[in-house]
Amino acid sequence: MISVPIGKPSFFTVHLVFVLLTILFCFPGSVSASAEEAAALFKWKSSFLNPDNPLLTSWILQQNSSPCSWYGVSCIKGSVNRLNLSDSNIISTLYDFPFSSLPNLEYVDMAVNEFSGSIPPQIGNLSKLIYLDLQGGALSNEIPREIGFLKNLQTLHLNGNYLNGSIPEEIGQLRFLNDLALAANNLDGPFPASFGNLKNLSYLYVYDNQLSGPIPPELGNFDNLVEVYMDRNQLSGHIPSTLGNLIKLEVLYLFSNYLSGSIPSEIGNLTSLNALSLFKNNLTGSIPPSLGNLRNLTLLHLYANQLSGSIPKELGNLMLLDDLELSNNLLIGSVPVTLGNLSNLKYLYLLHNQLSGPIPQELGNLTKLVAMIMAENQFSDQLPEGQCQGGVLQNLTVNENMLADVGCRLLFDWNIKTD
């Protein structure tokens, strides 16, 4: 028999005992809490229509088991604080989700799964939640008012579901919200009056719904806004001039609504803007020359409105512009020669206006132009010589004008359309 001498305990042993005692005294409930959370999550998994999901094979309940090593689960001090189950092929509802059993949950990403049914009101129990992503599912019915209890929430993604009803008034209680995505649902009604409280918003996605009423003028107080997508709704009234305060704004999409009145000249203050799309509304008046201040703009879509007056020569200042579409309006006068400065332009659509005079020779300098659609106007004289030099131009449409015989017809006999 080998005898082992008994001496003083080593420093390592003492330190290990100290750490274990610290855990037990400082976090006496951590082990039991972890086991309770594991049981709650396992019970929820058992309600799935596909509980044998191969991604969740680690979700096994054992004596004193901890969920902290399970797929998609992260913990702090032995308690679940993150669930990242996005795109995990879960087929279920949220009715059995353990809202009351995960008191430290801060982050939930369950996007792109097949969750159906309503969002339960018990979601308001997740008082520490900072991030909630349930996009890309089949959730239906109204957004519960209890969403307003999530007062620490910074990101809320419910887009791409079948949610209906109005945006609840209680959403205005989410004063730390930075990113709100409710797009591609069946939401209707106006923005709630409390919406103006969300002054920390940077990203607003509510496109492809049935929202009605005016754009809240309070939106102009959201100093941190970077992207606004409100397109494909039933919004009406004027574009608030207060939007001109949003100096950080990079994208403003308001197309396919029922907006009326003129384009506010204050839009020209949005010097960070790179995409402005207002097409398919009922906008009237002239195109404000102040749009020429938007030097970072790459896309300008104003087509399918009732805009009148001439094309402002200031648009020639938009040197980064690659897509300019002004078709189907009531524009008159000549095309400004300054458009020949737009060396990055790929798409120029002026179809169906009342533009007249010669097409400027300067447009022949636009060597990156892929499509130039000028049909159904009153243009006269000849096409710019540069347009007859081939290049990357694929679609040249100038029919229903008063142009002389197009000398470059043979170069474009596969795509040119003239009278």
Q: Could you give the domains of the chain?
A: 314-419 (3.80.10.10)
Token reading at 26:
């400082």
The closest alpha carbon to 402, from 351, 357, 339, belongs to 357
Place of tokens 């879509």: 301
Phi, psi at residue 127, to the nearest 5°? Answer: -65, -20
Place of tokens 């996605």: 205
Strand partners, 261: 283
In the chain, the amino acid numbered 403 is L
Phi, psi at residue 11, to the nearest 5°? Answer: -60, -40
Strand partners, 229: 205, 253
- Which three-class secondary structure state does DSSP give residue 397? strand
Q: E strand or H helix at 34, and its extent?
A: helix 30-46
Give 227-282 as a 3 state SS string: EEECCCCEEEEECCHHHHHCCCCCEEECCCCEEEECCCHHHHHCCCCCEEECCCCE
d(CA 161, CA 103): 27
List the Cα angle 356/358/359 in 5-degree steps: 100
d(CA 90, CA 115): 7
Residue 355 makes CB contacts below 8 A (sequence gap 6+) with 311, 331, 332, 333, 334, 335, 374, 377, 378, 379
**Residues 22, 14: contact at Cβ < 8 Å?**
no
- Which three-class secondary structure state does DSSP give residue 172? helix
- Exposure on the CB side of residue 86, measured as CA atoms within 13 A: 13
- Given this model, what pLDDT does residue 57 score? 95
Would you write out the chain's pLDDT as a tens digit for each of its 419 residues?
Answer: 333 333 444 443 334 333 333 333 344 444 556 889 999 999 999 999 999 999 999 999 987 778 999 999 999 999 999 999 999 999 999 999 999 999 999 999 999 999 999 999 999 999 999 999 999 999 999 999 999 999 999 999 999 999 999 999 999 999 999 999 999 999 999 999 999 999 999 999 999 999 999 999 999 999 999 999 999 999 999 999 999 999 999 999 999 999 999 999 999 999 999 999 999 999 999 999 999 999 999 999 999 999 999 999 999 999 999 999 999 999 999 999 999 999 999 999 999 999 999 999 999 889 999 999 999 999 998 777 666 555 788 888 888 888 875 555 434 433 445 44
DSSP one-letter code for 286 = B
Phi, psi at residue 245, to the nearest 5°? Answer: -80, -10
Q: How many residues in the chain?
A: 419
Q: Is 193 exposed, middle or buried (0-12, 13-18, 19+ CB in 10 A)?
A: exposed
List the Cα angle 245/247/248 in 5-degree steps: 135
Residue 46 makes CB contacts below 8 A (sequence gap 6+) with none
Token reading at 161:
């579901």
d(CA 288, CA 315): 10
- Given this model, what pLDDT does residue 388 score? 59
End-to-end CA distance of the chain: 109
**Residues 291, 262: contact at Cβ < 8 Å?**
no
d(CA 29, CA 17): 18
Query: What does each C-alpha distance from 398 to 305, 372, 419 come to in angstroms?
Result: 21, 8, 7
- Given this model, what pLDDT does residue 5 score? 39
